[in-house]
Amino acid sequence: MTDTASGTPLRGGRIRKPDAAAYAQAAGILRDGGLVVFPTETVYGLGADATDDKAVAAIFEAKGRPRFNPLIVHFADRAAAEEAVVFDERAERLAERLWPGALTLVLPRAAGSAISPLTSAGLDTLAIRVPGHHVTQALIAAGARPIAAPSANRSGAVSPTTAAHVAESLRSRVDMIIDGGPCPIGIESTVVDLTRPEPALLRPGG
């Protein structure tokens, strides 16, 4: 079944409490290329397997987000992130001090990175983060893969900080919503671009 106006597939995602059964089901959804909404310390994210082109394409479709606007990829830890991007000394220092947490780093893609090129809109850079929220960490561990995730709102709308807020606009377009309560920080991550000689603050945030 599709949304007749847009042709977007209807998924009818269930809202689940973050328990072992929900994580197991979410892991299966991620493996199958589906979409899982989850809380982070910043805002709710709309996530998919970052290594799966079709899954990443589904994120853009569900949000109505233009394909040229790149996504952040969420990793379990720095070691996992270092397989996808090239760290320099500045990145090492920032990661040491601020991860896990609300800091996103833009770094050059590593040669042979498994992350779908769609994630970064075809750029040779990648925005990455290691979140600290226990639900986000449990989901990444359960799925055993990096998760590409923008905020879980329709493109142009406000970033959601509760599951109920997500459900209002996106429930029919995702496969599951994990309700982990309100996001502790409530604003987006800070984005720092380290691909230039001088670090640039692309987005002030939490």
Summarize as ranges the residues that interact with ligand AMP (CB under 6 A).
Answer: 69-72, 106, 120, 123, 125-127, 150-151, 188, 191, 193, 202-203
Calculate the alpha carbon distances from 134 to 40, 183, 198 in Å. 8, 11, 33
Sites for Mg ion among residues 80-109 (CB under 5 A): none
10 binds, options ligand AMP, Mg ion, none, Cβ within 5 to 8 A by partner type:
none
Render the burial of 116-149: b for 16+ CB within 10 Å, e for the rest: bebbbeeeebbbbbbbbbebbbbbbebbebbbbb
Calculate the alpha carbon distances from 145 to 48, 73, 102 in Å. 9, 10, 20
> In whole angstroms, what is the distance from residue 17 CA to residue 19 CA?
6
Q: Is 42 in the site for Mg ion (CB under 5 A)?
A: no
Q: Is 151 in the site for Mg ion (CB under 5 A)?
A: yes
70 binds, options Mg ion, ligand AMP, none, Cβ within 5 to 8 A by partner type:
ligand AMP
Render the burial of 58-91: b for 16+ CB within 10 Å, e for the rest: bbbbbbebeeeebbbbbbbebebbbebbbbeeeb
Beta bridge partners of 85: 109
Nearest approach in angstroms of CB 205 to ligand AMP is 9
Of 151 and 195, CB closest to Mg ion? 151
How does DSSP classify residue 120? Answer: G
Nearest approach in angstroms of CB 7 to ligand AMP is 23
128 binds, options ligand AMP, Mg ion, none, Cβ within 5 to 8 A by partner type:
none
Please check whether residue 189 is in contact with residue 74, taking contact to mean a CB–CB distance below 8 angstroms.
Answer: no
Nearest approach in angstroms of CB 110 to ligand AMP is 13
Please check whether residue 155 is in contact with residue 101, taking contact to mean a CB–CB distance below 8 angstroms.
Answer: no
Of 33 and 64, CB closest to Mg ion? 64
Of 10 and 158, CB closest to ligand AMP? 158
* Residue nearest to Mg ion as judged by C-beta position: 151
Of 113 and 151, CB closest to ligand AMP? 151
Nearest approach in angstroms of CB 201 to Mg ion is 17
Binding site residues, Mg ion, CB under 5 A: 151
